[in-house]
Amino acid sequence: MSDRLSGIREFVTVVEAGSFAAAALRLNLSRSAVGKAVARLEARLGTRLCQRTTRVLSLTEDGLAFYERCTRALSELEQAELALESGRAEPAGKVRVTVPVVIGRRCVAPVLFDVARQHPALVLEVSFTDRPVDLIEEGYDLAVRNGALPDDPGLMSRALVRQRMTVCASPAYLEKHGRPADLADLSAHQAIDYANPRYTRSWLFPSDEGATTEITMKGRIRLDDLEAIGDAATAGLGLAWLPCWLIRERIARGELVRLFNGPATEFATSALWPRAPFLPLRVRVLIDALAARLPAMMG
């Protein structure tokens, strides 16, 4: 039976990825290994499944029919595996996780490490990146995302925590430039900008009536790392708009001062994973741990 299944996953992945190179990346194999697996499958079946050129990969008539049957069979196998795993008491196997850099390092990673210590059969592969990640295309089992989620029917999500934002500055900056009394005073101050094209450059402030005030600050320093923005604010280079949890210790030490105590904007942090009939236990245990612990760390 194993011989009959040999090469099928590689073939299906080549079709779905659109090329042997992309399939090799998804499967963590060399391009040569994927090509040889598909060639052996074609030799065993006695027919050509793919038409290969330097630019285009297309299915033959036999290849299309075989692909459709293979995808149904693999889907049934995956559902059977997930159903079996969901009944286990101990999570096991590899989970590929993608997380934002700062939140991932400061908050998510400690939770994942604790889960790994509790479950020795669990294998974790964690990527720290702020770039948009296509979970399905890049083969991730779980993501932690900030802000609005993609409208994708192929994904599931669960809210983990809400991050409360605040404006802060160092005592040295306030002594030199004065303390803004209200939002209207902000335009007279320098800001340290978050240089990430995925997020708005404006600072958002909710009112008691539910409306949102959007303020675009002027600044000569733009950084794509929230910790670095906190460092720059601590050094007296301007005002910063940051999550409260991130600067909590700096405020306690007197290195930064919160400027407004009224209503604050909150951004959701969520878990995101590919939709499936059954959520694998190895993924569910991570989501449950994050939902249980992140509010105390970041709320």
User: Of 86, 112, 145, at which residue does a domain stop?
Assistant: 86
Q: What is the CATH number of the domain that holds 100?
A: 3.40.190.10
Mean pLDDT: which of 43-52, 104-113, 277-286 is highest? 104-113
Q: Are 168 and 241 part of one and the same domain?
A: yes
Would you call 237 exposed, middle or buried from its count of C-beta atoms within 10 A (0-12, 13-18, 19+)? buried
What does DSSP say about strands 266-274 and 142-146: parallel, antiparallel, or unpaired? antiparallel
The mean-pLDDT minimum among 32-46, 77-91, 101-115, 223-237 falls in 77-91
Q: Are 203 and 224 part of one and the same domain?
A: yes
Q: What is the CATH number of the domain that holds 69?
A: 1.10.10.10
What the block records as the tokens of 279 is: 């959520």
Q: Are 171 and 248 part of one and the same domain?
A: yes
Q: Are 131 and 274 part of one and the same domain?
A: yes
Q: What are 229-257's pLDDT values in tens digits?
A: 999 999 999 999 999 999 999 999 999 99
Q: What are 257-284's pLDDT values in tens digits?
A: 999 887 788 889 999 998 876 788 899 9
What are the C-alpha distances in Å from 212 to residues 59, 203, 244? 52, 10, 19
Q: Are 232 and 251 part of one and the same domain?
A: yes
What the block records as the tokens of 75 is: 């889907």
Q: Are 117 and 129 part of one and the same domain?
A: yes
Local structure of 198: helix, strand or coil? coil
User: In the chain, what percentage of residues exceed pLDDT 90?
Assistant: 43
- Per-residue buried b or exposed e for 141-163, using 16+ beta carbons within 10 Å of the residue's own CB: bbbbbbeeeeeeeebebeebbeb
Instruction: Domain of residue 43: give its range.
Output: 2-86
Q: What is the pLDDT of residue 1?
A: 46
Q: How far apart are CA 83 and CA 233, in angstroms?
A: 51
Q: How far apart are CA 118 and CA 138, in angstroms?
A: 28
Q: Are 31 and 70 part of one and the same domain?
A: yes
Residue 277 identity: P
Q: E strands along 122-201, which residues?
A: 122-128, 142-146, 155-169, 190-194
Instruction: Identify the H or E element spanning 25.
Output: helix 20-27
Contacts of 234 (CB under 8 A, 6+ apart): 170, 250, 255, 256
Q: Are 12 and 144 part of one and the same domain?
A: no
- Give yes or no for a contact between 168 and 256, defined as CB atoms under 8 angstroms apart: yes
Q: Are 257 and 288 part of one and the same domain?
A: no
* Residue 118 CB-half CA count within 13 A: 13
- Give yes or no for a contact between 282 and 92, defined as CB atoms under 8 angstroms apart: yes
Q: Are 285 and 200 part of one and the same domain?
A: no
Q: What are 161-194's pLDDT values in tens digits?
A: 999 999 999 999 999 999 998 888 998 899 998 8
What the block records as the tokens of 67 is: 């692909």
Domains of the chain: total: 3
Mean pLDDT of the chain: 86
Q: What is the pLDDT of residue 126?
A: 95
Q: Are 142 and 289 part of one and the same domain?
A: yes
What are the C-alpha distances in Å from 16 to residues 11, 31, 107, 167? 9, 15, 35, 46
User: Of 86, 103, 129, at which residue does a domain stop?
Assistant: 86
User: Of 71, 86, 101, at which residue does a domain stop?
Assistant: 86
Q: How far apart are CA 131 and CA 194, in angstroms?
A: 14
Q: Are 72 and 37 part of one and the same domain?
A: yes
Q: How far apart are CA 98 and CA 140, in angstroms?
A: 7
